[in-house]
A and B are shown apart, each in its own frame.
Chain A
Amino acid sequence: MALMRLTSPHAHGPMSTQRVMQSVLLATIPGIIVLTHFFGFGTLVNILWGSIVALACEALALKLRRRPLGFYLKDYSALVTAVLLCIALPPYAPWWLIAVGIASSILLAKHLYGGLGYNPFNPAMVGYVILLISFPIQMTAWAPPRGLGELPGFMEALQACFTPSAYDAITMATPMDLLKQNNSLLIKDLWGQYPQFGRWSGRGWEWANIAFLAGGVWLLYQRIFTWHAPVAMLVTLGLLAAIFYDGGSSASGGSPLFHLLGGATMFGAFFIVTDPVSSAVSLRGRLIFGGLIGVLIYTIRIEGNYPDSVAFAVLIMNFAAPFIDYYTQPRTYGHRKKRAGE
């Protein structure tokens, strides 16, 4: 047999892009289970429908761009985008809302920029923000957590998705909204007054956050990403919350635990901030990137008009990522100076 000529290295590590994406998908499972437990089948239906739309959009885009379908579909990136966006959407969202969101993510945010690896913005968050701005009512309609009302069954969830007009949605303000709107009650009293609050944060929300945290830690352990961005984000968010907690007065911004385990904090920290494509690359860069996202999340939560702020914070920092990269280039071996920024 003729000998093959290949250039070194001949060995390859165990990591593959498929494996990265599959791991991310797997790591969302505990969070999805907890969400389903507390808010019913809405999230699951979101994900099912969203995935179908995502694969169709991806196939369409690949076809238009004349790329081999099988090869690119196999990288699971479209599926990851879909799952992440659908987790962020309110349960029992109507089908068209999901479709519009997914299409914006895959077609606009990803393929218009040249496909996987070329998108400067996190596709799931682009889709989310487009929906939030275009359909604020649907986007802020969260179901009440288990125990505060009837949880719809799977069929009802399907009905809510595909014949939304026939479905009578029960919604409730989220703890994040309640805290923001509060200006008269002490934190302690606020907790007493509204059943949406749980032990540390929102009822159900706190467990969902813990589940996403667990998934994130598993990903860290699998070396899918480094700790820098998520830890930096959680630390700045926690610090700011601690500084402005002021013991729980009526003007309080909420306790650190409320913020860390509330809203989309953990989901954002481990599944959104860590998106490699749109984040900073160097380790120092990731520290800055994550840290600033934490600051932005807190600021927008307290000062902004939107219920949660992870998506905005991430998109704003996506803008900044190239600059962060530019100023945090590592010092090459044998060089005295860093290349840029001095």
Chain B
Amino acid sequence: MRKVFDFHGGIHPTENKHQSVRTPIADAGIPPELIIPLSQHIGAPARPLVAIGERVLKGQMIAEALGFVSVPVHAPTSGTIHAIEDRLIAHPSGYLAPCIVITTDGQDEWEAHSGVLNYRTLETADLISIIRNAGIAGMGGAGFPSAVKLSVKADTPIETLIINGTECEPYITADDALMREQAFEIIEGTKILQQIIGPKSTLIGVEDNKPEGIAALCAAAQGTNIEIVTFPTKYPSGGEKQLVEILTGQQVPSGGLPSEVGVVCQNIGSTVAIFDAVVKGRPLISRVTTVTGESVREPQNFEVLIGTPVQYLIDKAGYQSEKNNRLIMGGPMMGFTIPDTGVPIVKTTNCVLAPSEAELSTPPPAQACIRCGMCAEVCPASLLPQQMFWFAQGKEFEKLEEHNLFDCIECGACSFACPSNIPLVQYYRASKSEILQLRHDHEIAEQSRIRFEARQQRLEQAEQEKEAKRAARKIAAQQRAEAAQESGAEDPIQAAIDRAKIKKAEQQQDGAGDESELHKLEKAIASTAKRLTTATTKLEQAQAEGSDLVGALQTGVDKTREKMAVAKQALNDYQQHLDTRSAEQRPADAAQSAIERAMQARTTEAALSPQEKARVDLKKLQNRLKKTQATLLQSHQNAEEAKVIEALESTVARLTEKINALQPLLNTAEDA
């Protein structure tokens, strides 16, 4: 027997599991309509591949994954696409989300598909891509895409593969039913996982309250190196972090992933789905869901098509609405109430619980905290719930974070144990989201502050440059005046040389500016990258814990990604701009060519009649006007500062004026 470890705290709620395992898993059948959310898991939603009115076959991919942390969606049965629209979905905050609605045709006609019986011949990458394409996401908890979990970095050695068959939540028996009836598939699926990960040891952890399931697994695992490890029943031993501690004695570092202690965890349900995908070529289109509680006549497990409306499913179990006042998706400890029986079953729905009022009564009003410490005694994260409650009431967010609020896995053990009926978890959830919101706001404020400061700096720099230019021009003018005095007349060649010199000096200054600008952009990219990594690890952690914050974190990550792209683009543009500019104006040559142009101009000018001179002048002015207008337009598009635009506008006005002044002169000259 392998040594198992204990974790701090834990509770023993009434299990109520026997009700739903008296009969084998039943087929829930095909409902008239399936509502399939495009996002049933953490990560980006899938993108629809079908059009309204299109006929789809069972197993056909109807929406594709968008990005790494995303999984595709398949048609659970054959039928026609009725709509692609927002529907009410099962979510703790009960909101609308894009769904594909299929009107089923009852024929259950499969798309051509085939599996690989001898999966040993497949490469790891192929296996992972099969798993990804089959749309497999964690089937308990937050629904983290399995393929992502399996793509561990090469430099993290995985010692232990843990298959989580704990199912510690009261009432739920979906995994238990799988163990009893599909032990072979579980073991084969586990072998596929072994092949992908190559762990030293493979453990299937099961609480000792499932003797039949354990016996079936042990029989199926005979002759393999997969170990079935049982341990005393205690909630929440099925929490990923707790299970890792039970089986390895190690704790997953705060904010980290199990892989940091050499562990990868997968759910029992996922092993079966992986087996189906690899060996049978069957994507994840159905799952086992427990329907139980005193408000259904026949509590049992069902094989349910993804997208089946809850109403259809609970009716199969003999739902008595008059007895029931709340429907819980998930178990009584961590499940959430659903707003409506029309919401669909999704890949993570392991249970629909329809309790009677006597069974799970409405909580009485909370009393004062008597500091009995019962909450701290049961907390599996070794937190001090009563202190956190105190700080949460006073909105002392710093203190809350000091007390490691974010290590709370929201298991509900503290609320369960609290004699004063204080809804502790509710306080923690609210505080967490408030803190995240504050952080978000703070970040935005910080960004705009940085932007403001950068702008301020830019303005100052521009001002300084202008000042320098002015000074240089002044000197140049003096020099010019002196030169003119010496030669008696202004020498355009000398002037051109001077101007070119000044310009060169200015460009050098600009160059310095370029460098700092470049540096700034690079720095921005680096900091965005850093933020992205922290955000991603946080997200992964949240996903691993199945925390509610996943959605918020995901948007955070997405936003940071976007920002990253923007920053990179900016850097790119800027570099290109620098390149073209330096190609255009090689300072040394510029001076030379300016001198040449000036010389040429003088020779031509000397040979010109006044009319011709006027015409040339006019052309020059018109050219300048055109250029200025173009710049002005561009500045408008780039939304440059008002000052710049103003200056450009006044230039345009001046030039137009001059042209207008020249025009009559030219006309009269021509008339004459």
- List the interface of chain A (C-beta within 8 A of B): 1, 3-13, 15-17, 19-20, 71, 75, 77, 115-118, 225-226, 276-277, 279, 281-283, 286, 329-336, 339
- List the interface of chain B (C-beta within 8 A of A): 7-8, 11, 13-14, 92, 94, 170, 241, 245, 251-256, 321-322, 324-328, 330, 332-341, 353, 355, 360-363, 365, 367-374, 376-377, 380-384, 386-387, 402-404, 407, 410, 412-413, 415-421, 423, 425-426, 429
- How distant is the Cα of A1 from the Cα of B340 in the complex, in angstroms? 11
* A281:B416 contact, CB within 8 angstroms: no
Task: Tell me which of A5, A9, A10, A334 contacts B94 (CB under 8 A).
Answer: A5
Task: Tell me which of B334, B376, B421 contacts A281 (CB under 8 A).
Answer: B376
Going nearest first, the 10 A-B pairs with the smallest beta carbon separation are A9-B412, A334-B254, A117-B368, A276-B372, A11-B332, A4-B326, A15-B419, A10-B332, A333-B381, A330-B382
Question: Chain B: interface secondary structure?
Answer: loop
* B360:A10 contact, CB within 8 angstroms: yes
Interface centre among B8, B326, B339, by most chain A C-beta atoms within 10 angstroms, is: B326
Q: Closest CB of chain A to B92's CB: distance in Å?
A: 8
Question: Chain A: interface secondary structure?
Answer: loop
Interface centre among A75, A118, A281, by most chain B C-beta atoms within 10 angstroms, is: A281
Chain B residues contacting A335 (CB-CB under 8 Å) are: 253-254, 404, 407
- How distant is the Cα of A286 from the Cα of B92 in the complex, in angstroms? 38
* A75:B367 contact, CB within 8 angstroms: yes
* B326:A6 contact, CB within 8 angstroms: yes
* A9:B415 contact, CB within 8 angstroms: yes
* B371:A3 contact, CB within 8 angstroms: no
* A5:B376 contact, CB within 8 angstroms: no
Chain A residue nearest in CB terms to B366: A17
Chain A residues contacting B170 (CB-CB under 8 Å) are: 11
Q: Closest CB of chain B to A274's CB: distance in Å?
A: 10
Q: Closest CB of chain A to B90's CB: distance in Å?
A: 12
Given contacts A115-B368, A276-B370, A333-B8, 20 further A-B contacts (CB under 8 A): A3-B338, A5-B94, A7-B337, A10-B333, A11-B14, A11-B416, A12-B415, A13-B11, A17-B367, A17-B419, A17-B421, A20-B419, A75-B367, A117-B368, A117-B369, A332-B254, A334-B251, A334-B253, A335-B254, A335-B404
* B371:A226 contact, CB within 8 angstroms: no
* A12:B382 contact, CB within 8 angstroms: no
Chain B residues contacting A8 (CB-CB under 8 Å) are: 330, 332-336, 410, 412, 425
- How distant is the Cα of A289 from the Cα of B352 in the complex, in angstroms? 46
* A1:B325 contact, CB within 8 angstroms: yes
Chain B residues contacting A339 (CB-CB under 8 Å) are: 402-404
Chain A residues contacting B355 (CB-CB under 8 Å) are: 10
Chain B residues contacting A9 (CB-CB under 8 Å) are: 332-334, 412-413, 415-416, 425
* B332:A4 contact, CB within 8 angstroms: no
Chain B residues contacting A12 (CB-CB under 8 Å) are: 361, 363, 415-416, 421
Interface centre among A4, A12, A116, by most chain B C-beta atoms within 10 angstroms, is: A12
Known contacts A8-B336, A10-B332; A116/B370 CB under 8 A: yes
A sample of 23 inter-chain contacts (CB < 8 A) reads A1-B322, A5-B337, A7-B423, A8-B333, A8-B410, A8-B412, A9-B416, A10-B333, A10-B353, A11-B14, A12-B421, A15-B419, A71-B367, A116-B367, A116-B368, A116-B370, A279-B371, A281-B386, A286-B373, A332-B381, A334-B252, A334-B381, A335-B254
Q: Closest CB of chain A to B408's CB: distance in Å?
A: 9
Chain A residues contacting B412 (CB-CB under 8 Å) are: 8-9, 11
Chain B residue nearest in CB terms to A115: B368
Q: Closest CB of chain A to B177's CB: distance in Å?
A: 22
Chain A residue nearest in CB terms to B323: A1
- How distant is the Cα of A7 from the Cα of B432 in the complex, in angstroms? 15
Q: Closest CB of chain B to A96's CB: distance in Å?
A: 30
- How distant is the Cα of A336 from the Cα of B14 in the complex, in angstroms? 34
Q: Closest CB of chain A to B583's CB: distance in Å?
A: 56
- How distant is the Cα of A299 from the Cα of B420 in the complex, in angstroms? 37
Q: Closest CB of chain B to A213's CB: distance in Å?
A: 21
Q: Closest CB of chain B to A52's CB: distance in Å?
A: 23
Q: Closest CB of chain A to B81's CB: distance in Å?
A: 29
